[in-house]
């Protein structure tokens, strides 16, 4: 007999799968197996894969907003940027196992021209906007967009590099250099 599961439990299981393997790991049949229920039970709340993926992206967006808001609210912008970069090093092994999570999300939805791509791009844009705000508060008004693109590109790029090399030390060393770059401003 299939177990009854709540919509919240389904979403939590989907989020865990997304964090560990990207959106492609969020498969209704696999979630049903994880929860010892049937795919029809999952589909009662999420009609298809896209509906479930949109719910996951929405939950990730809420998590990201909470995370960014919690980064040193009493700190100066350089310190907040440093804490932001530290979060990549703290995720260390997880980042190296799956590369840049946001880059992976964009790859997972790259052929979708609709709501999935919009939601994934919104995650990246919100992170970028937060970094732009930090540079703006540092008085880097004219350069804030260029600096933000460099920082976000470098942080996510180095996670992909560390993943390709299977070397978490690459991530740690490069994040330390990025933090020194920000401190020098």
pLDDT digits (tens, 9 = 90+) for 25-64: 889 999 999 999 999 999 999 999 889 988 988 998 898 8
State pTM to two decimals: 0.83
CATH number of 71-183: 3.40.50.720, 3.30.360.10, 1.10.357.10, 1.10.490.10? 1.10.357.10
Average pLDDT across the chain, whole number: 85
Contact 162, 173 (CB under 8 A): no
Taking each helix axis as running N to C, give the angle between helix 168-183 and helix 144-165, from 0 to 180 degrees, rounded to the nearest 10.
Answer: 160
**CA-to-CA separations, 110 to 39, 57, 90, 119, 165, in angstroms, rounded:** 26, 14, 28, 12, 24
Contact 71, 83 (CB under 8 A): yes
The band of 97, judged by pLDDT with boundaries at 50, 70 and 90, is: very low
The band of 3, judged by pLDDT with boundaries at 50, 70 and 90, is: low
Position 2 scores a pLDDT of 59
Position 129 scores a pLDDT of 94
Position 100 scores a pLDDT of 62
Domain ranges of the chain: 1-56, 71-183
Structurally, at CATH architecture level, domain 1-56 sits in Orthogonal Bundle (1.10)
Which of the two residues, 146 and 160, has the higher pLDDT score? 146
Q: Could you read off the pLDDT of 4-19 as tens digits, one per residue?
A: 788 999 999 998 888 8
Contact 10, 26 (CB under 8 A): no
**CA-to-CA separations, 181 to 51, 177, 178, 185, in angstroms, rounded:** 41, 6, 5, 7
Q: What percent of the chain shows pLDDT beyond 90?
A: 45
Q: Is 5 left (phi over 0), alpha (psi -120 to 50) or beta?
A: beta
Kindly state the tokens that stand for 23: 């959106």
Position 98 scores a pLDDT of 43
């Amino acid at each position: 007999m299939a177990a009854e599961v709540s919509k919240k439990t389904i979403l939590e299981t989907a989020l865990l799968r997304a964090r560990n393997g990207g959106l492609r790991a969020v498969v209704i049949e696999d979630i049903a197996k994880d929860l010892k229920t049937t795919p029809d039970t999952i589909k009662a709340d999420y009609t298809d894969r896209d509906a479930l993926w949109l719910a996951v992206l929405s939950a990730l967006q809420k998590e990201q907003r909470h995370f960014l808001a919690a980064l040193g609210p009493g700190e100066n912008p350089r310190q907040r940027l440093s804490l932001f970069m530290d979060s990549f090093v703290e995720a260390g092994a997880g980042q190296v196992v799956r590369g840049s999570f946001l880059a992976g999300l964009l790859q997972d939805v790259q052929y979708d021209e609709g709501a999935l791509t919009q939601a994934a791009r919104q995650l990246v844009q919100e992170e970028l906007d937060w970094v732009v705000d930090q540079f703006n508060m540092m008085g880097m008004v004219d350069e804030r967009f260029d600096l933000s693109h460099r920082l976000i590109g470098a942080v996510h790029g180095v996670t992909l590099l560390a993943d390709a090399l299977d070397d978490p030390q690459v991530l740690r060393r490069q994040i330390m250099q990025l933090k020194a770059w920000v401190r020098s401003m």
